[in-house]
Amino acid sequence: MNDKKRMVLEAALRCFSQKGFRATSMQDIADEIGMAKGSLYFYFKSKDELLLSVVGFVIERLMSGMRELPEERHFPPREKLCLQLARHFANFRREREFAALLMREPALGAKSEVRDAFLAFKSRIILWYQQRILEIYGREAEPYSWDGAELLSGMSLHYMSRMLEGGKVFGDRRLARFLVQRLDDVMEGMIRKKERPLLSREDVLSYDGSYSDPEMKFRLAASELRKAAEQAKDGEFPAERKADLFASLSLMEDELAKPVPEPLVLRGMLAYVKELSLPAWADLVERLESSLYLDR
């Protein structure tokens, strides 16, 4: 994203949050950054299109805290989850004015494109939680991983709503640790009791049309590839090679989350994933590649 477009999005976000979407004009946004009103239409054809771009902008800022930092690569999975959740909560607090706008003007969330963007965002969150659960609790947690992801998502959302609506202030790290401890209670209880799961991947992800979202298709394919790697025996797929594969997939997910992903980066990482993967995973790698829509 170029600097001018980012400047417009940040100005629109400020205006929408402070004045409300309906009360904000394109002239207001232009005045906010000292730009001619006509110049805004070079980037966005209408205020509705600008709103959708602002929603996407906010979503990516919320997701950014949940990405693994280079220095966290070798941290234990539970510690990484705590750190990433804490950053996510900090980002949420920074975006709370926009969240309040959506509550003040519920019709905005009812717009089909905005609703679809938030449904896809929810699916990304659930999938992210499910992958972290598998990393922490291992193979025996797999049948319950989707229920666990849905429960963690619900708990997180409830406490974030408390921050938004009631002004309750939790320390981000304290809240993250608290929720991960509750996740321990939930997952260990389900694993111990061996109860029948309520949710599957299809229940959680397919109801909102996520499979038509190219980025979600990639994330689902990446999730299956990670699962195959986790189940491989150390003798045929060493731990160092597994770590390289997971890091490569994470880098590709980060690149795809950008407004304009760099094809060269994706091609390079895809080639490395192919090199790391076992022959038995050819179908999974093909699914991964096809989700990228890269020229071959």
154 and 218 belong to one structural domain: no
Q: What is the pTM of this model?
A: 0.72
Q: In this structure, is residue 139 part of a structural domain? A: yes
Same domain, 274 and 141: no
Same domain, 180 and 200: yes
* Residue 159 contacts residue 175 (beta carbons within 8 Å): yes
Q: Which of the listed residues 208, 236, 256 is the one where a domain comes to its end? A: 208
Burial bucket for residue 167 (CB in 10 Å: 0-12, 13-18, 19+): exposed
- Same domain (yes/no): 202, 275: no
Give the residue numbers spanning the domain of 116: 60-208
Number of domains observed in the structure of the chain: 3
Kindly give the confidence (pLDDT) of every residue in the chain, 296 residues in length, as a single tens digit, with 9 standing for 90 and above: 578 888 999 999 999 988 888 899 999 999 999 989 888 888 888 998 999 899 888 888 888 888 878 788 789 999 999 999 999 999 888 888 887 787 778 787 777 788 888 888 888 888 889 989 998 998 899 999 999 999 999 999 899 888 777 667 788 999 999 999 999 999 999 999 998 999 987 777 655 444 445 666 787 788 889 989 988 988 899 989 999 999 999 888 878 766 557 788 899 999 999 999 999 999 999 988 988 865 44
Give CA–CA dist 135/138, Å, rounded. 6
Instruction: Give me the helices (H) in the chain, please.
Output: 3-19, 26-33, 37-43, 47-64, 77-94, 96-104, 106-110, 112-137, 145-165, 172-193, 201-205, 214-231, 239-256, 263-276, 282-290
